Amino acid sequence: MSAPEDERLARVVLSRVVEPGDVRTTGLAAELGATRLLEVLRADDTDHTLLTDLESRAGPVDPVRELERAARLGIRFVIPGDAEWPAGLEDLAWAQPVQERGGVPLGLWVKGEMRLDELAGSLAIVGSRTATSYGGAVAAELAAAGARAGVPVVSGAAYGIDQAGHRGALAAGGRTVAVLACGVDRPYPSGHKVLLDHIRNAGAVVSEAPVGWAPMRVRFLARNRLIAALTRATVVVEAALRSGALNTANWATRLNRTLLGVPGPVTSAPSQGVHQLIRSGAAGLVTSGEEVLESLGSAGAHLLTDPRGPERPRDRLTTRQQQVLDAVPVSRGASTDSIARAAGVGIREVHGALLRLQHWGFVRLDPVGWRLADQAHR
């Protein structure tokens, strides 16, 4: 299955003239389709802003040549309607924008053979560029655990936690995907040229920005929403209080994705942002790859339930215990004394029986006295 060709060409044009994640364009393109949107833009003479942008930026764009040029570099342009279009990106349609960035991307420029729809169930590992060796080691270990379980690892190819996540997945023979803020033909950061080659070979390098575009601040903000949207869970390994990784975390929350955080020493600045996410309830605390996989597998299944004593059916009680239980009022509390009188049993024996019955969940001790627990009505 593949999207109509005129729609692809219209999206190439739009992709080259508007910023990634520009909410003015992504929303209308998703709703109207790019072909119709281009018509509207060309016809709408009440507002020239975007057309002016378009003309001053690029002059006329030849989308066929753009696609050919990309193809020569091993780069394809994946758009909604293509078989490999990742369903998760559609959630961006209804998520509230952040700093005017948001919406379903017009398309993704992709280098690498991995199909993007195989990212369903994948894991984002993000964090500080200035990670500690502790953070790097944990990120690599979590990524390796994901890789061993067949879970692709998505990150942003930056220094610090990002690269540790990619490398951990690669070392374990797993698949990994880098989502860039610049064109996928550009090695950024330049020190990661070889790493990006490895990532492309073991997965894919992906960007909303067209071939040749440079990384810019606003493009990182747009990129972060893709990392959250492409994955099922985002784990933040280290992030200082103003780290860009918190922007990705914010997107994970907006997209109802699972958000996880790895704690660290409270004396370590790169852990402070993570601790704040956990404190506020935005992120769950994880300490191991096993716990991360558990969260990926079934959201909420890892929540502990209150430990309770085993329920014992009433007929396994001794006759004496049943006598005492029968003397405990259903709704109002009674003193041990009055239960002893009602049961015709000595007070110390009654007290011992009540403690066993409490342990088994038959009776409760309220401030006003003993009464039946709810389950004892059965």
Residues found near a second copy in the complex (CB under 8 A): 23-24, 27-28, 31-32, 40-41, 44, 46-47, 50, 93-94, 96-97, 134, 137-138, 262-267, 271-272, 275, 278-282, 284-288, 291, 302-304, 335-337, 346-349, 351-352, 355, 358-359, 365-367
Q: Of the two residues 115 and 371, which places its CB atom closer to a second copy in the complex?
A: 371
DSSP H helix total and E strand total for the chain: 15, 11
Cβ 123 vs Cβ 153: under 8 Å:
yes
Omega into 189 within 30° of 0, i.e. cis? yes
> Least distance to a second copy from the beta carbon of 221, Å?
15
Distance CA 252, CA 187 (A): 26
Structure-token pair, residue 102: 């948001």
Closest contact distance (angstroms) between CB of 355 and a second copy is 6
In 3D, which of 225, 202, 83, 85 has the Cα closest to residue 152?
202
Reference 108, options 216, 36, 184, 171; nearest CA is: 184
Least CB distance from residue 191 to a second copy, whole Å? Answer: 27
Q: Please, which residue, 149 or 282, has the CB nearer to a second copy?
A: 282
The rounded distance, in Å, linking the Cα atoms of 104 and 26 is: 6
**For residues 191 and 346, which CB has a smaller minimum distance to a second copy in the complex?**
346
Q: Compute the C-alpha angle 180/140/127, nearest 5°.
A: 50
Which candidate, 259, 318, 302, places its Cα nearest to that of 127? Answer: 259
Min CB(183)–a second copy separation in Å = 27
**Pair of tokens at residue 90:** 């559609």
CB of 198 to a second copy, least distance (A): 26
Question: Residue 20 belongs to what H/E stretch?
Answer: none
Q: Which is nearer to a second copy, 65 or 359 (CB)?
A: 359
Beta carbon of residue 124, minimum distance to a second copy (angstroms, whole number): 18
- Phi and psi at residue 19, in whole multiples of 5°? -70, 145
User: Is the Cβ of residue 167 or residue 275 nearer to a second copy in the bound state?
Assistant: 275
- Give 6 or 47: the residue with its C-beta nearer to a second copy: 47
Cβ proximity to a second copy, 56 vs 96, nearer residue: 96
In the 3-class helix/strand/coil scheme, how is 354-372 assigned residue by residue?
HHHHHHCCCEEEECCEEEE
* Minimum gap (Å) between residue 263 Cβ and a second copy: 3
